[in-house]
DNA sequence: AGTACCACCTGACGGC
DNA sequence: TGCCGTCAGGTGGTAC
C-alpha cells in the first residue's frame, strides 16, 4: 500500500498519537529489515528518547528524536503502522515494536519484509545519499518541467523514478496518467512544456485529494480510476473496458479511449 | 540514460 | 484437498 498518500497517513497517525512520549523499549523481530543500523545501535538511539516531530520525503518517513537524529521508515510494498494499547492487539507481521512509557505501543507492520528501517543525522543528507528527487507534493511547476524535459524514455517509468521525483508509485501514477489523459507509454520527449505543466497540475490535485482522504481508495471521487482499477473495471468517464498492460515491468491500468499516446 | 531481468519476501488466488 | 504458477501499491544491483 505505501505510496506518498499512505505514508502521509502514517505521518498523521504518529503526529496525533505517538509524539512526546518516552520510549521504554524497542523490539525488532526480523533483523533483515534493519538497513544502515544494527539492533543495539537502534535501541541506543531510541530508548529513553521521544519522537518530537515528523517529516516525509517521497515514501520515506522521518521521525525526529528529542535526543537528536531521526528514525527513518520505508514501507516497501506492504507496510502499515498501528498505535495501540493492549498486548493482545499486536498486529500480525509486526516487525518492529516500540513501547512507550505510557503503556501504548507503536507497531511497524511489514508482511513481505521489503520495507527498511534506518537512522539518520539529517533528512537532507539521507535524501542526498539515496539520490531522491524532489518530493512530489513540494515540487513546483518550473522544477517539474525542468526535471522531465529533455529526457528519453516513457512517461510512466519517469514519473515513478524516485531520483527524478520522489513519492509516486505504481497506482497513483496510473491515476495521474488517467486524469491527465495520457497513455503510460507516451514518450517523454514528445511533450511540450505546457503539457508537462498540465501533468504537474493534475499530480498536485490528485495528491491533495487523496492525501485528504488518507489514501482510502473507497473514499476517492467516483471519477477516479483507482476504484475501478481491476480486470473487470469500466472507465468512470466513458465506460470503456479498462485495459491492462506491462510498462517497465509493472502492471498498468488505463482507459484506451481516454488516454492518448504521445 | 534507459531498459530488462533478477533478487529480495509473504500471502492470496485460480487452475488442475 | 493440495500443489503450482502467478501476481502484488518497492527498490537495488547488474548487464547491455
Q: Decide if pLDDT at A29 tops 80.
A: yes
pLDDT per position as a tens digit, A129-158: 999 999 999 999 999 999 999 999 999 999
What share of chain A has pLDDT > 90, as a percent? 97
CA/C1' separation A93–B11 (Å): 12
Q: Which residues contact A257 (CB under 8 A, 6 or more apart)?
A: A235, A238, A240
Per-residue model confidence (pLDDT) at position A237: 96
DSSP A8-73: HHHHHHHHHHSBT--EEEEEES-GGGB-S--HHHHHHHHTT--EEEEEEETTEEEEEETTSSEEEE
Nucleotide closest to A77 measured between CA and C1': C10
Find the mean pLDDT for residues A113-120.
98
pTM: 0.97
The pLDDT-based confidence of A3 (bands split at 50, 70, 90) is: very high
Q: What is the pLDDT of residue A231?
A: 72
**Average pLDDT of chain A?**
97
What pLDDT does residue A206 have?
A: 98
Round and report the angstrom distance from CA (A79) to C1' (C15). 31
A164 CA vs B12 C1’ separation (Å): 33
CA distances from residue A45 to A29, A115, A128 in whole angstroms, order as listed = 17, 20, 22
* Three cell numbers, residue A49: 528518547
Determine which helix (DSSP H) or strand (DSSP E) holds A94, and give its type and residue range.
Answer: strand A94-100
pLDDT of A232 higher than 80 = no
Separation CA A203–CA A174 (nearest Å): 11
Footprint of strand C on the protein (CB under 7 A): A 1-3, 5-6, 58-59, 74, 76-77, 112, 114, 130, 160, 162, 169-171, 215, 217, 250-251
Distance CA A127, CA A162 (A): 11
b (16+ CB within 10 A) / e for A182-200: bbbbbebeebeeebbebbb
Tell me which protein residue sits closest to nucleotide C8, measuring alpha carbon to C1': A77
State residue A45 phi and psi, 5-degree precision: -70, -35
Distance CA A81 to C1' C16 in A:
40
For A75 and C7, how far is CA from C1' in angstroms? 19
* Whole-number pLDDT of residue A1: 72
- What mean pLDDT do residues A7-19 have? 98
Instruction: Encode pLDDT of A64-97 as tens digits.
Output: 999 999 999 999 999 999 999 999 999 999 999 9
- Give residue A247's Cα distance to chain centre: 20
Work out the average pLDDT over A163-172: 98
What is the pLDDT confidence band of residue A167, given thresholds at 50, 70 and 90? very high
Amino acid at each position: 500500500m505505501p505510496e506518498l498518500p499512505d505514508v502521509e497517513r502514517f505521518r498523521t497517525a504518529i503526529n496525533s498519537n505517538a509524539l512526546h512520549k518516552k520510549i521504554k523499549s524497542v523490539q525488532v523481530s526480523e533483523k533483515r529489515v534493519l538497513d544502515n543500523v544494527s539492533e543495539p545501535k537502534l535501541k541506543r538511539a531510541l530508548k529513553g528518547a521521544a519522537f518530537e516531530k515528523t517529516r516525509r520525503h517521497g515514501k520515506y518517513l522521518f521521525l525526529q528524536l528529542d535526543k537528536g537524529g531521526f528514525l527513518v521508515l520505508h514501507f516497501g510494498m506492504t507496510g502499515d503502522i498501528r498505535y495501540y494499547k493492549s498486548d493482545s492487539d499486536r498486529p500480525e507481521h509486526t516487525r518492529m515494536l516500540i513501547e512507550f512509557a505510557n503503556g501504548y505501543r507503536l507497531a511497524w507492520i511489514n508482511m513481505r519484509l521489503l520495507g527498511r528501517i534506518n537512522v539518520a543525522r539529517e533528512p537532507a543528507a539521507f535524501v542526498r545519499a539515496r539520490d531522491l528527487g524532489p518530493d512530489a507534493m513540494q515540487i513546483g511547476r518550473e522544477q517539474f518541467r525542468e526535471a522531465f524535459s529533455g529526457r528519453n524514455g516513457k512517461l510512466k517509468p519517469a514519473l515513478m523514478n524516485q531520483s527524478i521525483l520522489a513519492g509516486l508509485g505504481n497506482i497513483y501514477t496510473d491515476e495521474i496518467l488517467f486524469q491527465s489523459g495520457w497513455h503510460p507509454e507516451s514518450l517523454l520527449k514528445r511533450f511540450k512544456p505546457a503539457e508537462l505543466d498540465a501533468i504537474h497540475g493534475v499530480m498536485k490535485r490528485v495528491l491533495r485529494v487523496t492525501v485528504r482522504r488518507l489514501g482510502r481508495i473507497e473514499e476517492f471521487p467516483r471519477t477516479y480510476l483507482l476504484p475501478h482499477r481491476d480486470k473487470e473495471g469500466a472507465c468512470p468517464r466513458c465506460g470503456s473496458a479498462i485495459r491492462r498492460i506491462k510498462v517497465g515491468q509493472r502492471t498498468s491500468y488505463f482507459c484506451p479511449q481516454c488516454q492518448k499516446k504521445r
